[in-house]
Structure formats: structure tokens, C-alpha cells
Amino acid sequence: MGRYLPLLISVLLSACGGGGSSSAPIQPPPPADTVPPAITLIGPNPQIIDAGSAYTELGATATDNVDGDISGAIVIDASAVDTSTAGSYEVRYDVRDGAGNSASTVVRAVTVVAPPPSSDATLSSLTLSAGTLVPAFDPAIIEYEVTVPFGVHRLAIVPLPNDPNASQRINDGASSTLDLAEGVNAVNILVTAEDGTTTTNYEIKATRLALAQQAYIKAVNPSVSDNFGTQAVLSGDGNTLIISSRFEDGAGVGVNSNPGNDDAEGSGAVYVYTRDAAGDWGSHSYIKASNTDSGDGFGESAAISRDGSTLAAGAPWEDSAATGVNGDQGNEFEFFDAGAVYVFTRDTGGTWTQQAYVKPSVINMNGAGGSSNEWFGRTVALSADGNKMAVGAISRSGPVASGSVFVFDRGSGGAWTETAIVSVPSFFFGSSLALSADGDTLAVGDFSDSSESTGINGAPAGNGLIDAGAAHVFVRNPDNTWLREAYFKASSPSDCEYFGDTVTLSDDGNMLAVGGPSEDNAGAVVICEEFDNRRNTTSGSVSLYARDTGGNWSLQEYLQASNAHNGDFFG
């Protein structure tokens, strides 16, 4: 074995990695990565953006000595950029490589600049309160014409610039509502662009027609002393006209009966006229009460709804003893001059039909022999939709002689119901009536009021001024009761002025006109700020009152004719 020992030792040393200079060296570990990546912006820096436009990210690239392209790992913070406001902003870019080395933050400046001012000096729309523009509005057309009736005194103009930053001025710029003179009125609308130099002038020739007679209307059966024209009332669109003739003598009943039979002296009639698209007026219907009788005075009062489809006519000297709505119409001469109101409706085909025969719920007697003298229907007023009606019954009898106003409402099925009685202990309370469009404000005149109070809601005073007159305003409560809101007297009342002989309300009920046809101030001016005491008997006047949001009334104007004379009865 001795001779094999060197060989065995050599094998063992080789297996153990030792034994001689032929073994491999040991390698040291690689060095740590400490080099940060680099970020390069794409696109301009600074980035310029117009105010109001959207921000668009231009992006960046990132490279690393070990990881290569790491652009997808870039974190971009653009939260500070506000493109709605001109100014300078920053967008920040950051990235880390796989070894956790952070690149130096790169900042892109973003400048948001205001765009140049617009040069748009056009209108996008142009509307008027009355009339129709000719030609139809087009922003590129600058010359127009419009024609309005004589009754249109003011024209509201609403121009809307296409660019909200442009400005516009109408004539002298004082108001967008213009007072129209008769004839041609020049309207200039100057639109100035945001740049302050570009302008467009739109021109409108607004012609207010002269007052001219359009029609001469007579009854289809004229006769002596018929009093044709007792009442003349137009619908809201001006295309339906009702004219009453309280002493007409026709003996017919209902709608379009024979107008030639004059056997019912003073029974009264109502005539309906309509205007066609060409502006021509024609006779449409001849209306009589359903229980025509001599002396009834059908048409002493009359009212029409705004759309012209509901008509009410009073016959204050009708004599039946019926009460309520659609009672027995046949028992004539039982209650002398009790009065009645008749309601008619027009269908879509233009045919009129009597809808209701209306009497008060209670008729008071005034002495023996069936005398009533309530004159229910002496006055009548309708709301705009025709569903609310007020009826005056002056000289109503009872423990205290007083006038009354009866209020009726029409239900969805067309049935009328009495909902209230409004009374004041004064003989001719209800001698004039007016309702607001919604029927919830009621004005009542009483030309016989003799109170010595003055102004609005004056303190109670004596009753020494015979027929000085007064007016009242009532408002409806949710439970259909009525609250007197104001009591009006002339500022300087005197005997026989008949203040309250006429009353008129605006649609919203916030303006009241009260006529005093026998008022005797002589100030020969259109509007008087003070009342003088110069005498000019029965020249007449109109007082205008306004109601504020708190329900308080105040005198706004005192009107007289510019050429006031004795006996004019203005108002």
C-alpha cells in the first residue's frame, strides 16, 4: 500500500479543492446602486394655457442607470393648476428607481393667460312686451319695425347680448321701458363688445297707431230709449264685445230669439259682437233673459271673462221670489224689483247658452205688497277666469237699510254656489264693483256714504256730508270670509261728490282707481299734488291708490281732466 499512498493523498486533496495553484479565486459582492434616475420634460416649459381652456398634461420621461426607462413610474402633481383664473402655477414631477433612489423634482411652470377680449357685439335675442318684430329677429339683421295699437302706451324691450361680457344700452340708457308717443318712435340698441371698441347698433321703428274709429255699432233692433250702450265690455283679447241695452223692449227669451217683437217694454237685452282676423266686427248673438218681462232692465250691469267665454248680466228689477241658483223663474211680480243675474257660457263652436239663473239666498221684504227693492244685479263683476262673481244688491231691506255684495263661485262642473255676503250699513253700498283677476280682492263703491271721515281708514266721524261717497277694499280669507282691508274717502269730501261711483282694480288687485264724477275741485291740470278748494262744480276726478306688500294702501295720484269744466262728470 505504500506505493499507492501519494496517489491517494493527491486524489483527496483534489476532491477537497486544495492542493496546488490550479483552484478559482473568490469574487467580492457588486457595489450598491446609489445613482438617482433623471427626469426630462416633454414639451415647453413654461406651458402657456388660455384661461377657461382645459389643462393638458404634456408628460415627461425618466431613465435610470440600472433600471433603464422608468417613465411609467413618474408621479405628476398638477393639482395647483387653475385654468379658470389667469396666473402662474407649477406642475411637479417625481420618480424613484428600483433601488429607492429619488430623482430631483422637476417643475414645469404653467402660465394661464386671459384670452383677448371678445369682439362679439351681436344680440342673441330681442323681445318686446307688445307687437311683433318685422322681420323676425336675426342677429345679423339690424333694422326692424313694430306696430302697436293706440292703447299701448309703453314698450318694454329686452335685448340679450350673445356674449355675456358685452354691454347694451337702449336710447339714452335710462330705462328699458319706453313711453310711446303716437306715430313713429325711434329705438336704438347699442351693443358694445367686451373689447370696448366693436359696436353694433340695432334700430327699431316702433309705430303707435293713432286712435281711430274701427267700427260703428248699432243694435240689430234699434228703438227709441232702448239705452243701447248701457254697458260696453271687451274680452281680454279685445275680440269679443258685449253691449247691453237695459230698456230694450224685445219679448223673446234666451239666445237669438226674434228681436222684432217689442211687447216687453224695458225688459232689456245684451248684444255680442266679435272681431275677425281682418279686424272687422260683426253681430254674433242677441241675448235675452230666460224669463223676460217688462221693466226688468236686463243688461243694467254686465261683465265678461278674460277669454270671452263667460258672460254675466244683471236685471235688478226682475220680480221673482226665487232664491239661490236656478230656482223657479216663473213666479213673477211676487217680490217687486228683487233682481236677478244671468250667466251665459260660449262653447268652442261659438254658441251661447244660459248656464245659471242667480238669485240671492235671502230676499228681504221692504214694506207691504211684495215690495223688495233690493236691486240684486245692479252691479256685477267677474274674475279673469269667470269662475268667481260678485253681485251688488243696493238698497237692501232689513233691520238696518244697507247694501250688500253677494259672492258666488263656480265649481268644476259648472255649478254656481253662493259663498259669502259682504255688507256695510250704507244704503248704496255695492253701487260699483271690481274684482282682481284671481277674484280674491274686491273693491266696492258706495256713492251715498255720508261720513265726514277723510283719506284712508280715517277715524269715524259724523254723517253730515250727504252723498259724499266712499270706497272699500276687501280680501278673501281661505275660509271664504272677507276682511275689509281699507276704507277710502276723498281727501277733502263735500256733499254730493259721489266718490266711489266707479271703482276699478288692476289685475293683481294692488292698484285701485276711484271715480268722483261730481267732485268740485277746479285744478285744471292732469295730476294734482294738492287739493285746492276752488269751485268748479261737478268737473269730476279720479283718485289712484296703491297697495304695498304689507297690505297698506296709499294715495298715489289725483287726476282731473286737463280742460275741466262744470258738468263734465270726469270719473
Q: Count of CB atoms within 10 A of residue 125's CB?
A: 11
Of 363 and 397, the structure prediction assigns the larger pLDDT to 363
Of 495 and 110, the structure prediction assigns the larger pLDDT to 110
Contact of 431 with 445, CB cutoff 8 Å: yes
What was the pLDDT predicted at 335? 76
CA distance 89 to 294: 94
Per-residue pLDDT of 16-30, as tens digits, reads 444 444 456 787 777
Contact of 468 with 499, CB cutoff 8 Å: yes
What was the pLDDT predicted at 552? 94
What was the pLDDT predicted at 160? 95
Q: Which residues pair with 341 in a beta bridge?
A: 314, 358
What was the pLDDT predicted at 278? 85
Of 13 and 80, the structure prediction assigns the larger pLDDT to 80
For 26, 96, 267, 341, the CA distances from 327, given in Å and listed in that order, are 129, 99, 20, 12
Per-residue pLDDT of 182-192, as tens digits, reads 999 999 999 99
Of 197 and 403, the structure prediction assigns the larger pLDDT to 197
Q: Which residues pair with 470 in a beta bridge?
A: 446
For 206, 455, 534, the CA distances from 494, given in Å and listed in that order, are 46, 13, 13
What was the pLDDT predicted at 321? 86
Per-residue pLDDT of 219-250, as tens digits, reads 999 999 999 999 999 999 999 999 999 999 99
Q: How confident is the model at residue 70 (pLDDT cuts 50, 70, 90)?
A: very high
Number of residues written out for the chain: 571
CA distance 49 to 55: 7
CA distance 375 to 364: 11
Cα-flanking dihedrals φ and ψ of residue 73, to 5°? -95, 0
Contact of 408 with 389, CB cutoff 8 Å: yes
Q: Is the pLDDT of residue 569 over 50?
A: yes
Which amino acid is it at 114? Answer: A
DSSP result, 15-50: HTT-SSTTSPPPPPPPPP--PPPEEEE-S-SSEEEE
Q: Is the pLDDT of residue 129 over 80?
A: yes
What was the pLDDT predicted at 205? 97
Place of cell 353694433: 200
CA distance 265 to 1: 173
Using CA atoms in the order 16, 19, 24, 27, what is the torsion angle rounded to 10 degrees? 80
CA distance 531 to 381: 32
CA distance 275 to 216: 13
Task: Give the torsion sign (CA, 319, 324, 325, 331).
Answer: negative
For 120, 159, 346, the CA distances from 164, given in Å and listed in that order, are 10, 12, 48
Q: Which residues pair with 352 in a beta bridge?
A: 346
CA 260 to chain centre: 46
CA end-to-end span of the chain:
159
Retrieve residue 133's grid coordinates.
Answer: 318684430
DSSP H or E run through 8:
helix 5-15
CA distance 374 to 398: 10
What was the pLDDT predicted at 368? 46
Of 449 and 270, the structure prediction assigns the larger pLDDT to 270
% of residues, the chain, pLDDT over 90: 66
- Mean of pLDDT over the chain: 87
In 193-260 the beta strands, taken as DSSP E runs, fall at 199-208, 228-234, 240-245
CA distance 464 to 466: 6
* Cα atoms found within 13 Å of the Cα of residue 387, Cβ hemisphere only: 9
